[in-house]
Each structure stands twice: as C-alpha cells, then as structure tokens.
Amino acid sequence: MSLVVYLAAVVFGMTSVLLFRRPRTAVRDPLALSTCVAIVLGALVFVCAAPATLRTVNELTGVTNFGAPLTYGMLSAYSCAVLVLLINWRGGPRPVVRRAVLRSMAAYGVLVTAIVVLFLLADADTERLTDLDTYYAGTPFMREMILLYLLGHSAAMLVMCAVCVKWSREVGGLLRVGLRLILLGALLDLVGFQVTKYTAVVARWTGHDLDFLSTSVAPPMASLAALVCSVGFALPRLLPSVLAHWRGLDDYRRLGPLWSLVKSVSTAPRQPSVRWRLPRARLQWREVSIHDALLTLAPYFDHRVREGAREAALRAGRSPHEARLAAEAAMLTDAARRATAHEEPPDATGSYRLHATEVPGASGLVELSQALHRLPGRAGAPGGPDPSALTEPEEPHVA
C-alpha cells in the first residue's frame, strides 16, 4: 500500500515541477503559486498517509499515532489550498480575492488547531497504521477529531463541486474540460473516499464491522480522485504550452529545406546546444538565421527568373498565391547558387519583398520552404538544378 501511495505522491510532485518551471515568474503569479501549493500539499498528504511514513513519524517523535494529526492536518491544509486555488482561478477584484483567501486560511487554521488539541486530549495509546479511523471511532476526543477532519474535507469538496458546475456553464475550451475533470475528481473523492469513511465510522458506532471500506476502498479512491483533480488543474495551464511547442517542432522540421538552402550564407551566430533547447526556442533561432540569410541573398535576386517561374506556374494551373511562392522559391534557389559561387549579382535587380517577410511568425517561411521542397528536381540546396529551367519551356523544334 505504501508503494502505491508514494507513486501517487511522485506523480503529484512531477506535475508541480512542470507548473513551477519558471520560479521567479510563478512566485509573482497567485494562480501559478496556489496551483503548485495545492498539488504539493496533495503529494504530502499521500506521503504522510503511507503506513511506512506513519510508523517512521511515530518512532521519531516518540508519540503513539502522532502521524494521525499530522496527516489530518495536512489534509485540511490541502482542502484549504484547493479553495484558495479556486478563488484565485475565478479571479475578481484583488481586495475581494484577498479577503476570501484570508477567510479560508483562517477557517482551516482553526480546524487544524482543533485537530491537534483533540488529539492531545484523547487517549490513543495503541498504534494503528491503517485502521485508526474505525479503531478509535468511539474514543472520546479521537471521535471528534476524526469527524472534524472529514467534515472539513467534505466542505471543501462540496464547495469545489458547486463552483465547477456554475463556472463550467460560463466558459468553454480547455478551461471547461479542466473544470469537468476537477468536478469528476471531487465527486470521486466525495463518494469513493468520504462516504466510505463515514459509513465505516458510523458502522462502528452501531456495532458493525465495515472497516474494509475505510482501509481497502477509501485510500485508492482518494488517490484516483486527487490525480484526476490535479490533471484538471494542470491541463488548462500546461496543454496550450505543450501544443505550442509541438507546433514549433513541426514548423522547425518543415523549415528544413529552406534552411538547407540558405544556411551557408547566414551570418547569424550559431546557437549552442540547439538539440537540448525547447522546440519554440529552436524555431525562433532558425527563423532569425533564415531572415538573416534572406537579407544576404537579396542582392542576388534575379527577377527574370522569378517572373518566368511565375508565368510557368500560372500556366500549369496554380493559384496566384501558389505561383508566387513557386516563383520566389526558384528565384531564391538561383540567388543561393550565385552567392555560393561568388558570382556577380544579376543586372535585373531591384527592391522586392518576399511573401515570407510580409506575414508575422513562421508561417510565411514554412510556405516558402515547402515550395522549395516541391520544386522539380528538389532544388533545395546550392548546386541543385538550374532554376532557369523552371521559367519558360523551350518550343519544340519542328523540322
């Protein structure tokens, strides 16, 4: 059982590390900070609840069952952190948000204090690592302590359910998906963990033995519920960044033909250890280097090559935009060949702005790169086929 609980704690910790990947920025962002605090406290709850941890804590402190108030206090702090996270996520005027956060912290601070005081007043000399809730269900002060931590956690989950249901009607997209996952996790916690705990405790009061609900059913359901909630909290914050990096990696690869053509003339400084950088950083470096190379090649642009290739593309049935891209690809290939061979710039030069430089981002460069990829003979590198062959086909000789 301890291994499963520790595994859940590790998953929580990894999620927190991903969300807290920029510590300086996250500390100044109440939403990021409260998200990380809630997930870290959830991980600590699992660590504290593991039988191996409970035994170690009891031995180190010399107090029998000292792990119980520690775990229950940590669970109450996690419940408070979840409420604070929802408050920050919902947003609003800062004074209103601050007052709501302080009230939640004050209420659960009183609850944690009450849990500790009740434990000190109780007679709990028999160490119980897995069934403390049911074993001491009828013991004075321990009974109240158990009910208090369960009620405090139930209140937080009920509030979370109400907020998620109400808010999910007002938002869409990933935020709605995240809210529904949080709602699912809260319902799993309410039904799978809390109802089973309440049932097992009440059964003890009435002289029945349903301890398996508390010892065998509740812990895995609590782990599943907490993991689902953590995914719901993290998904709206992490997925957009993951998708952006995925698109950046795709664009980086699709710029390959263009980069292969112009990299020999780029004067941009090399980026160290590019393989270990995030895809968006790699894409940005490649964009800058390509733009630098295009400026270097601009004097070698031969507009006769471009116009000939454009006319040929139009006659082949391409759209004006596709014809322009094909013509610019042919002209760029010719310019790269001339620059690599150290030839003189052509006479037919003049100011011309490539489509790739007219649109923001990498989309224009990607289109140009793919146009290069589609050129007959794969004219994607200096020394490829002569771009002039892409202009006007020769008339067949008639004898």
CATH assignment at residue 214: 1.20.1070
- pLDDT for 349 beyond 60: no
Model pLDDT, residue 233:
79
Residue type, 178: G
Rounded Cα distance between 225 and 222, Å, is: 5
Asked whether residue 36 is assigned to any structural domain, the reply reads yes
Domain that residue 185 falls in: 2-240
- pLDDT for 170 beyond 70: yes
Asked whether residue 219 is assigned to any structural domain, the reply reads yes
Q: Which of 188, 217, 240 is the C-terminal boundary of a domain?
A: 240
180 with 314, same domain?
no
11 with 111, same domain?
yes
Count of structural domains, the chain: 2
- pLDDT for 228 beyond 50: yes
Residue with the two structure tokens 């069934």: 131
236 with 358, same domain?
no
183 with 286, same domain?
no
133-147, 310-324, 335-349: the lowest-pLDDT one: 335-349
Mean pLDDT of the region 72-99: 89
Asked whether residue 266 is assigned to any structural domain, the reply reads no
Please state the separation of Cα 153 from the chain's center in Å: 27
Q: Which of 223, 240, 257 is the C-terminal boundary of a domain?
A: 240
Asked whether residue 207 is assigned to any structural domain, the reply reads yes
pLDDT tens digits, residue range 21-76?
555 555 567 777 887 788 888 888 888 888 888 999 999 999 999 999 999 999 99
Asked whether residue 311 is assigned to any structural domain, the reply reads yes
Model pLDDT, residue 245:
80
Asked whether residue 245 is assigned to any structural domain, the reply reads no
Which pLDDT band, with edges at 50, 70 and 90, does 397 fall under? Answer: very low
132 with 7, same domain?
yes
Asked whether residue 267 is assigned to any structural domain, the reply reads no
DSSP 8-state symbol, 191: I
59 with 190, same domain?
yes
* Residue 256 CA: distances (Å) to CA of 261, 266, 286, 344, 392: 9, 14, 9, 27, 28
Which residues 6+ apart lie within 8 Å of 379 measured at CB? Answer: 329, 330, 333, 372, 385, 387, 390
Asked whether residue 8 is assigned to any structural domain, the reply reads yes
Model pLDDT, residue 217:
92
Model pLDDT, residue 139:
93
113 with 197, same domain?
yes
Q: Which of 215, 240, 265 is the C-terminal boundary of a domain?
A: 240
284 with 230, same domain?
no
Mean pLDDT of the region 376-394: 45
Alpha helices in 255-269 (DSSP H): 256-262
74 with 186, same domain?
yes
173 with 82, same domain?
yes
- The predicted model scores a pTM of 0.69
82 with 146, same domain?
yes
Rounded Cα distance between 285 and 282, Å, is: 5
Neighbouring C-beta atoms of residue 263, cutoff 10 Å: 16
- pLDDT for 348 beyond 80: no
How high is the mean pLDDT of the chain? 83
340 with 219, same domain?
no
- pLDDT for 196 beyond 70: yes
